[in-house]
Every structure is written in structure tokens, then in C-alpha cells.
Structure 1
Amino acid sequence: MNIPVLYIFSGLPASGKSTLAKLLAKQTGAMYIRVDTVEQGLRDLCNFNVEGEGYRLSYRIVRDNLELGHSCISDSCNPIKLTRSEWQEVAEYAGAKFVNIEVSCSDVIEHESRVNNRECEVANLKLPTWQQVKSRHYESWESDVVKIDTTGQTVEASFSELIEKLSVQKSI
């Protein structure tokens, strides 16, 4: 039996991470979980202010699937060392491998345009404004991470780059 892999996506809103994460899920058959969807579901169903609960619930769902031998993809901003290490602990607890993937859009003008022009994919979710994205706390990575800068690239080119980098690491 193959050891499952947890693909841990991170990056600011509108960087392209959800698009790439979903394409990877489609190609690999890995279970996909988007923390935005979980958090908005908690808001809609439980009517309370969501803080870390979306991540905590997602960790449990992903751990269950990894333990069943299913590779998983987590899609979230994952902006701080705490959540990054917690995702890794989920994989380690389940005896799975993990790979950190950071998606960015380094061109400020292109990134702002994406933020201002994208459509919401999660029912009832209020997307952040450009000012909120710029102001968001996002810590630099201190550990190994596969970096994909989607600036000036087609979705297909960014996805090909991701697959190539994962192949080199033998993570796919």
C-alpha cells in the first residue's frame, strides 16, 4: 500500500492556490478540503464568529482520510507557523508524508486585479478586499516549501510547474 500524502497549500487570497489545489485533486484523486468552505459552513449552520474552528475541524477530517490511506489536499491561506506545523502534525500522526506548497502572485498590479475581479466560489462567503489582502499577516516560510509564482502565467503553465516540482520531489 502506498503511503498517503498531505499536500498543504498556502498563500494569500487570489494568488491561484485554490485553482491549483483543485487541479491537483482532480489529477491525483486526492481528497480536497478548503478551509474557507468549512469556516463558512460553520458560520451558516452554527451562527457564530469563526476563528480557528475551521482549521481544527479540517484537521480532523483530513486525519481520518489520511488514516484510511487517502492522499489529501488542504487549501487555506495557512499564513502562520502555528497552522503550518499543525497541518504537518496531522500528516505525521496519520503516518502520511506531507509537502508544503506556497502559491503567490508577486506582481502587485496583477494580484490586485485578481482580488478585485474574482468571483466567489463559496456560498455566502464575503471575499476580502485588496486592502484586507495587503494588510493580512503572512509569515515567511522557515521550512522546505514548493514555491509557485503564478504571475504572468496561464493556469496550465502554473499547474505544469507545480507537477514538475512535485515530480522532482517524488511527491506525486
Structure 2
Amino acid sequence: MSQKLVILAGLPGSGKSTLAEGLSRHFSLPLFSIDPIEAAMWRGGLPRDQTGIAAYAIAQALAEEHLRLGHSVVIDAVNPVEAPRAAWRNLAAKYRASLPIIECVCMDEATHRRRIEARMRAIEGMTEITWAEVEKRRTGYEAWTDARLTLDTSAHPPERLLAEAIVYLT
């Protein structure tokens, strides 16, 4: 596999972490996920209102170190607006890595809500997001303009979605 900066994006509960973990295992790639990074920052004493953008900066620094070494990387992040998206594009360009983007969506609102309300990820220091918070995040989630694979995670089982993502990356 040529060097890649694989981006998994989508609203909380859209299935991106499940898919990112599957891709990380399948290809034996490091995975950097924003939520555990941010939770570690909170456990370290940083105020919750100061860690959002910083967690992306840490993930970018970790990804850059791996790209510099010639490795591919998987990133698991909402990526709701242009700023982090541009940072990933710039990082991929700097290391001449391809930038496959996989956007996870959950088109069935009832399924999405059930996932959020049942979610128990056990990330130390992080409480689970509420459905009301997801709906608020949805209003600020900008449409992607980059070429990408969009997967409706409410339409197919995780194994099929992973298979589609693997084909997309190879």
C-alpha cells in the first residue's frame, strides 16, 4: 500500500470509530482518534473549553511523525469544518501521501439516535455525547467538497462497510 493519510469523518455516532478501528487492524496502521486525545488532555488538567482545536493539533503532529517515517496513518475525527480538513490536505501534500477520505453518515435518524443513547465507549474522563448535542453539532457540520467515499452506516452491517472501505483504500 502506498503511503496514505486516511481520514475518517462524520458526526458522533455515525460509525467512523468502528470503521477506523477495523481499517487500523486490517492494514496494521496506527490510529489517532480525537476523543481519547482530548480526554487525556482533560485528565491532565487542561480546561475542557481549550482542548478541541488542540486535540486536532496533537493528532496532526502524531500523524506527521509517522508520515515523515514513511508510514500510513488512520485519523478518526469529526472534521466538521474546513480548517482541520485543510490541515489534513496540507499534511498529505507535504509528505506526498494520498488522502483517502471516508465520511460516515447515518441516514436513518432513529438508528443514529439509538446509537448515541446506547453508546458506552469507556474513554476515561469523557462523558458520552447526548442526542441534543449531536443535533447541535449537525447544524455546524459543513458539507465536504473533497472527493471521498461516503458510507451510510445505517444501511449495511459493519463487516460490509469495512469491506467497502478496504476496497476504496486498495
Deviation at 1:79?
Answer: 0.6
1:154 aligns with 2:153: no
Q: How does 1:18-37 map to 2 (within 5 A)?
A: 18-37=17-36
Q: How does 1:97-136 map to 2 (within 5 A)?
A: 97-136=98-137
SS of structure 2 residue aligned to 1:101: strand
Give the conservation status (yes or no) of the 8 Å contact 1:67–1:95: no
Deviation at 1:150?
Answer: 0.8
Give the conservation status (yes or no) of the 8 Å contact 1:103–1:148: yes
Q: Deviations over 1:108-139 (max 9, x none)?
A: 00100000011124112111100110111211
Give percent identity, aligned residues only: 28
1:122 maps to amino acid? I
Give the conservation status (yes or no) of the 8 Å contact 2:42–2:125: no
Q: Distance in 1 between matches of 2:99 and 2:118?
A: 33
Deviation at 1:3?
Answer: 3.8
SS of structure 2 residue aligned to 1:52: helix
SS of structure 2 residue aligned to 1:79: coil
Q: Distance in 2 between matches of 1:152 and 1:97?
A: 28
Q: How does 1:35-50 map to 2 (within 5 A)?
A: 35-49=34-48, 50=51
Query: What stretches of structure 2 of length at least 5 have no aligned partner?
Result: none
Deviation at 1:152?
Answer: 3.4
Q: Distance in 2 between matches of 1:3 and 1:161?
A: 18
SS of structure 2 residue aligned to 1:36: helix
Q: How does 1:75-90 map to 2 (within 5 A)?
A: 75-90=76-91
Give the alignment's TM-score, normalised by structure 2: 0.92
Query: What stretches of structure 1 of length at least 5 have no aligned partner?
Result: none
Deviation at 1:95?
Answer: 2.4
In structure 1, the partner of 2:141 is: 138
In structure 2, the partner of 1:66 is: 67
In structure 1, the partner of 2:8 is: 9
Deviation at 1:47?
Answer: 2.8
Q: Distance in 1 between matches of 2:64 and 2:128?
A: 28
Q: Deviations over 1:56-84 (max 9, x none)?
A: 11101100101111110000101111111
Deviation at 1:8?
Answer: 0.6
SS of structure 2 residue aligned to 1:98: coil
**Large movers: runs of 4+ above 4 Å:** none
SS of structure 1 residue aligned to 2:99: strand
Deviation at 1:54?
Answer: 0.3
In structure 2, the partner of 1:95 is: 96
1:43 maps to amino acid? W
